Amino acid sequence: MTGSPVALDAHGIDGGPELAVEGARLAAADGIGVRLFGPESLAPACAEADGVELEPVEEWIGNDADPVAAVRSAPGSSIVRAAAEVAEGRASALVSAGSTGATMTAALFALKRIKGVHRPALAAQVPLPAPDGASSALRPGAAGGAGSLLFLDVGANTEVRPQHLIQFAFLGSAFSRAVLGVERPRVALLSVGEEQKKGTPEVAEAHAALAAQDSIVFIGNLEGRDLLTGAADVLVTDGFTGNVALKTLEGTARAVAGAVRDAARSGPLAAAGGLMLRPALGGLRRQLDPNSVGGAVLLGLRGVAVVAHGSSTPEGIANAARLADRAVAERAIERTAESLRASGATREGLRDDPAPTGSR
Amino acid sequence: MTGSPVALDAHGIDGGPELAVEGARLAAADGIGVRLFGPESLAPACAEADGVELEPVEEWIGNDADPVAAVRSAPGSSIVRAAAEVAEGRASALVSAGSTGATMTAALFALKRIKGVHRPALAAQVPLPAPDGASSALRPGAAGGAGSLLFLDVGANTEVRPQHLIQFAFLGSAFSRAVLGVERPRVALLSVGEEQKKGTPEVAEAHAALAAQDSIVFIGNLEGRDLLTGAADVLVTDGFTGNVALKTLEGTARAVAGAVRDAARSGPLAAAGGLMLRPALGGLRRQLDPNSVGGAVLLGLRGVAVVAHGSSTPEGIANAARLADRAVAERAIERTAESLRASGATREGLRDDPAPTGSR
């Protein structure tokens, strides 16, 4: 835990801002102070929660708004206020369960990029089903870090050049080591086959460059079917493919789980069987729950920013705050910057430097 | 069923060429003649199977070979021989469970593109879990065609321009109508959000063009989480994203099903429950089995070519042959060509016309 509080945007959670107070209370119980940017109506609940302060903000940016235009035109919105709190040193890290695009944009504008970073990337932690039925959900601080995949970019950059993919590999490796406790993270590129030349020209070029360096452990290409096998600790792709793959994974897990539930309603025998299997399946549901990992992290900024799942539960919010707090305590930003500098994979090697595209 | 036989490449099936004979026998039992291109060692089994003829071929192209180079340099290989059989009118359609890249390349070289088609696309049928537990696996000829998604491109073109995505939409719609029996196929684009401007510039431009036409039913963008919800009949994307998403879906379904199986071994109570639930879950497994749909179809060629799953069972091979036979019987090629001509979405509207990239 760190001294200064986490700035939490309470607007934009699917279940309503009250869930943010509940989540903040859980985090505060672990000694993580939370400064909450949300509606005045939360004041009574916040007053009762030790370690939770409310900054009343009525204005917020929804999912439908254009992120860049909205962030520029709404300096008084909850996400912009929360990001400024971090930039100005009054909070240690930014946490939001609101619009991903607005969070990324506000964080980028307020916190700026690490020197040499061309494009920040959004890195999701994908919980892996444990082969032995034990919970493998990654907790910040879990020793070894086995049981989750750090998957990036999942939506910050819809188009990338090879140099961006290479940077994502270094950013992901540094975060995995610094915050997730993986000593030698195995880094892979997502493609359509194992061979170096498979995939887009960008992927093939990034593959060749990563294979030629030895600062991080590059294990080659993986395919979509390998996401949940634990074959890599860090998996790198562009923000369009990553977003589609992550949502495909979530949608498929939900559909199969739903079909299993339906099967357990298809007759009396099946229903009895389902009932007897339920305790064991509950563990699986918890494992695959995105709330178990606390959210996605924006990598490459000079500050910590965590995007919680839009459908977060209080536990999900609390886990996002815990992850943010741990990133601060572990000096994730400084260590990432050092690692990038040592690798030489900074934007000095890039030909041109247009503005980041943000989430589209 | 049609008069002339289906040409089946028996090499390259994970389980060995003997499975192809079994599959051919099942198809032949439905009156679909099969000419099998495989090793001489299959002769005794083929001699016993009515409607199954063997063309002995010992040379074949593996998954690791560069498809274009291999097809050019191995005119005597099973896939090239089988494709030539179709091109020269001695077989009605091509079916292969071997290398997807080699099949696409051999089919493209031998069968050629439909006039106006810029790039052929590989279209997979994704079986959807039925909400009521009933089997929804798409059988060729199933009335209504509900219960599966035609998903393209899943690997023929790693990079596309907007005009290619637009053509894929028309190709998919025409095939869905002609062969899968969907009267008014709902066509969507895969992207990272619903709004027209979301996604890559190519997706946004294709969205605008599809929204402006009225020859096919365009319902807008869908996201990765919508693949199994039945929200669309045809889903269009580039071959890189489509390949990653399809394999992510298959891998996730396998991982979740495996975790359910593990849960049912986690104790005596769970084991008893799993046993009682097993009959109901068997239906689900059959539904999600890629073998239930018979394989992916190459759209945009002047002949029918079906790529069966590499891990095909005999039933999977037979379903691939049934799908191919039905496409021939329903005049899928002619009707697709007519539909494309009527739509105006042909390559005459494209600025340049480089060679297709093939599978990479």
- Give pLDDT tens digits for A216-247: 999 999 999 999 999 999 999 999 999 999 99
* Together in a domain, B4 and B130: no
Tens digits of per-residue pLDDT, A133-164?
444 333 333 333 347 899 999 999 999 999 99
* Together in a domain, B138 and B258: yes
Q: Is residue B232 assigned to a domain?
A: yes
* Together in a domain, B215 and B265: yes
Using pLDDT thresholds of 50, 70 and 90, give the confidence band for residue A339. confident
Please give the structure tokens belonging to residue A194: 């194992």
pLDDT (0 to 100) of residue B359: 40
Q: Is residue B257 assigned to a domain?
A: yes
Using pLDDT thresholds of 50, 70 and 90, give the confidence band for residue A71. very high
Report the residue from A129, A263, A266 with minimal CB separation from B259: A129
Report the residue from A198, A204, A249 with minimal CB separation from B252: A249
Tens digits of per-residue pLDDT, A74-112?
999 999 999 999 999 999 999 998 888 899 999 999 999
Give the list of residues 6+ apart from residue A163 with CB closer than 8 angstroms, or none.
A118, A206, A345, A347, A349, A350
Q: Is residue B305 assigned to a domain?
A: no
Range of the structural domain that residue B62 is part of: 1-111
* Together in a domain, B73 and B135: no
Residues of B in contact with A237 (CB under 8 A): 244
* Together in a domain, B59 and B81: yes
* Together in a domain, B136 and B264: yes
The Cα angle at residue B285 between residues B280 and B288, in degrees rounded to 5: 130
Report the residue from B190, B264, B288 with minimal CB separation from A244: B190
Last residue within a domain, chosen from B88, B111, B134: B111
* Together in a domain, B129 and B90: no
| Pick from A263, A70, A288, A119: nearest CA to B284 | A263
The 3-state DSSP class for residue B328 equals helix
Last residue within a domain, chosen from B93, B111, B129: B111
Owner of token pair 């815990």: A322
Q: Is residue B225 assigned to a domain?
A: yes
Backbone angles phi, psi at A158, to 5 degrees: -75, -25
Structurally, how many domains does chain A consist of?
Answer: 1
Q: Is residue A63 assigned to a domain?
A: no
**pLDDT over 90 at B137, yes or no:** no
Write out the H or E segment, with its range, that includes residue A246.
helix A239-263
Write out the H or E segment, with its range, that includes residue A21.
helix A18-29
Contact A248 B252 (CB under 8 A): yes
- The verdict on ipTM greater than 0.90 is no
Contact B199 A158 (CB under 8 A): yes
Using pLDDT thresholds of 50, 70 and 90, give the confidence band for residue B290. low
Tens digits of per-residue pLDDT, B19-36?
999 999 999 999 999 999
* Together in a domain, B171 and B98: no
Please give the structure tokens belonging to residue B242: 């489509």
Owner of token pair 């028996």: B10
**pLDDT over 60 at B213, yes or no:** yes
CB B158 within 8 A of CB B188: no
Strand A296-299 relative to strand A121-127, pairing: antiparallel
**In whole numbers, what is the pLDDT of chain A averaged over residues?**
87
The 3-state DSSP class for residue B191 equals coil
Q: Work out the burial of residue A355: count CB atoms within 10 Å of its CB; fewer than 13 is exposed, 13-18 middle, 19 or more buried.
A: exposed
Contact A259 B284 (CB under 8 A): yes
Q: Which CATH number goes with the domain that contains A200?
A: 3.40.718.10
CA distance A118 to chain B (A): 19
* Together in a domain, B263 and B243: yes
Q: Which CATH number goes with the domain that contains B90?
A: 3.40.50
Please give the structure tokens belonging to residue B221: 């963008």
Alpha-carbon distance of B225 to B66, in angstroms, equals: 33
Tens digits of per-residue pLDDT, B293-308?
778 999 999 999 999 8
Please give the structure tokens belonging to residue B309: 């799953």
Residues of A in contact with B190 (CB under 8 A): 244
pTM above 0.90?
no
* Together in a domain, B103 and B126: no
| Closest chain B CA to residue A257 | B256
pLDDT (0 to 100) of residue B13: 86
**pLDDT over 50 at A354, yes or no:** no
Q: Is residue A61 assigned to a domain?
A: no
Q: Is residue B317 assigned to a domain?
A: no
Q: Is residue B223 assigned to a domain?
A: yes
* Together in a domain, B46 and B169: no
* Together in a domain, B106 and B123: no
The Cα angle at residue A212 between residues A208 and A215, in degrees rounded to 5: 125
Report the residue from A245, A267, A360 with minimal CB separation from B199: A360
Last residue within a domain, chosen from B64, B92, B111: B111
Contact A244 B243 (CB under 8 A): no
CB A189 within 8 A of CB A153: no
3-state helix, strand, coil split of chain B in percent (to 5) is 45, 15, 40
Alpha-carbon distance of B181 to B189, in angstroms, equals: 21
Alpha helices in chain B (DSSP H): 18-29, 43-48, 67-73, 78-87, 100-111, 162-178, 201-212, 239-263, 268-288, 314-329, 332-343
CB B161 within 8 A of CB B335: no
